[in-house]
Amino acid sequence: MSVTTEPLARRLSVIGLWLLAINGMIGAGIFGLPAAVALSAGDFGPWLFLICALLIAPILLCFGELASAFSGTGGPVLYVGSAFGPYAGFQAGWAFYIARLTAFAANLSLMVTSIGYFWPAASGGHTHTLLLALLCAGMVWTNVAGARTAMASLGALTALKMLPLLALAMIGMIQFDEALPAALTPPDDLGAACLLAMYAFVGFESSVVPAGEARHPQRDLPRALLAALFVCALLYGLVQLAASHLLPALASSERPLIDVGDAWLGQPGALFMAFGIVASVGANLVGSMFSTPRVSYRLALDRQLPQWFGVVHRVYGTPSNSILFYGLAAFALAASGSFVWLAVMSVLTRLLLYLGCIAAMPAVRRRNSPQFHLRGGLLVPMIASAICLALLWQVQWRAYLATAALLAVGTLLYALAARNRVDTLPPRA
């Protein structure tokens, strides 16, 4: 992998990295999962989220150690590439990019649809498309304008989306003693229930990509990851507890937290929760718009994509072309709806990415001396790998075929870039 010095400004603090991690985890999922969790686990639902936090912890700890070994932009691109070579690093970056782009397009569409709760015209037609374009343009400009502007927007959206979740968490704390005895019996199919709830915790990997813009990435990234996991585990468990208490028919709800809000405060409560969904998805989108273009920037810096992707804005010091391309691609996918079949594969590509990063750990330990070193040798990586393999076992074979096709496309792009590779830094805009 290239060790070229990066021109990006280092402005991200540990709080900024934590915002990226927690918004990668808390998107739209917690606003829709409570019903499915109640259906599969019943009163055991709050404990199910805590169990899933323990299951994701080994994977997150592995990423914490890997993040502490590097100070450059790229995350999985650097981890896998340093261990297995530039082609493997490129494929890791390509898999990450596709998974995040697809999720971004899906969440963007969901956000505009949620706005339709307040403004029915936004639910479809030209108004829907126009809102998609305006939201994409706004997020592109916010991120091109600099890390401080993006982090300020992300911080504000995080505070707004946390309001309804924290309100429910307070109710959950009040009801904890009363609900505890009824919530101690696990469901018959605990494994299937865990697989369902596990998806509320993925997405943390977005925070490791912009390490090249962090002030102290090797020290701050492990702290940010662990803090985000702790907050999410506690918040999810308490929200599930409150939702089960306020809405006895939670398992049959199609929009669970909106119905919970209605059962709690009537129409104002439903609007409060709908507002939370819009803010939550918005924060998730801003975080993704910040992190994912840094992958194509990293690949251009390593001369694995055209240098156009590596252009850094002269005034703002951000990878402006990569951000612009990501915004345009996300809008095209969200507006056309062609991203739906890719959404099914986003989880598969993410799990494969996790396995690739975990497999890179022995080589990274030998060559880079991580500042955050896990004890127990390979015990934690082996546990993390077993969890990933168990989840992969649930994926249908068609998703594997489609993912293989996407990786083949990545191979073609890599080969095309190799033909025009030159040993110069990407220019400034």
Predicted confidence at residue 341, as pLDDT, reads 56
pLDDT in tens, 220-243: 999 999 999 999 999 998 898 888
Q: What is the pTM of this model?
A: 0.78
pLDDT above 80: residue 59: yes
For residue 160, CA distances in Å to 233, 272, 275 come to 19, 10, 9
pLDDT category, 355, cuts 50, 70, 90? very high
For the chain, what is the mean pLDDT?
Answer: 82
Is 5 contained in some domain? no
CA-wise closest residue to 21 among 295, 230, 237, 169: 230
> Is pLDDT of 182 > 70?
no
Indicate if the pLDDT at residue 340 is higher than 60.
no
Better pLDDT: 353 or 258? 353
Which region among 9-13, 229-233, 330-334 has the lowest average model confidence (pLDDT)? 9-13
Is 284 part of any domain? yes
Q: Is residue 77 part of a domain?
A: yes
CA gap 349, 307 in Å, rounded:
26
As given in the structure block, the two tokens for residue 310 are 């590596």
Q: Could you tell me the CATH number of the domain that includes residue 167? A: 1.20.1740.10
pLDDT category at 338 given cuts 50, 70, 90 is very low
Structure confidence at residue 424 (pLDDT) = 47
DSSP string, 84-153: H-HHHHHHHHHHHHHHHHHHHHHHHHHHHHHHTTT-GGGGSHHHHHHHHHHHHHHHHHHHHT-HHHHHHH
What does the pLDDT read at residue 367?
Answer: 87
**Which tens digit of pLDDT belongs to each residue from 77-104?**
899 999 999 889 888 988 888 888 877 8
Across the range 28-40, mean pLDDT stands at: 80
Answer yes or no: is 276 within a domain: yes
Domain that holds residue 198: 14-419
What is the rounded average pLDDT of the residues 158-174? 85
Number of domains in the chain: 1
Contact 11, 215 (CB under 8 A): yes
Name the DSSP letter for residue 285: H
d(CA 307, CA 330): 21
For residue 157, tell me if it sits in a domain.
yes
Tell me which amino acid residue 307 is. Q
Residue 169 in any domain: the answer is: yes
Q: Does 3 reside within a domain? A: no
Contact between 287 and 20 (Cβ < 8 Å): yes
Select the highest-mean-pLDDT range: 156-165, 295-304, 358-367, 395-404: 358-367
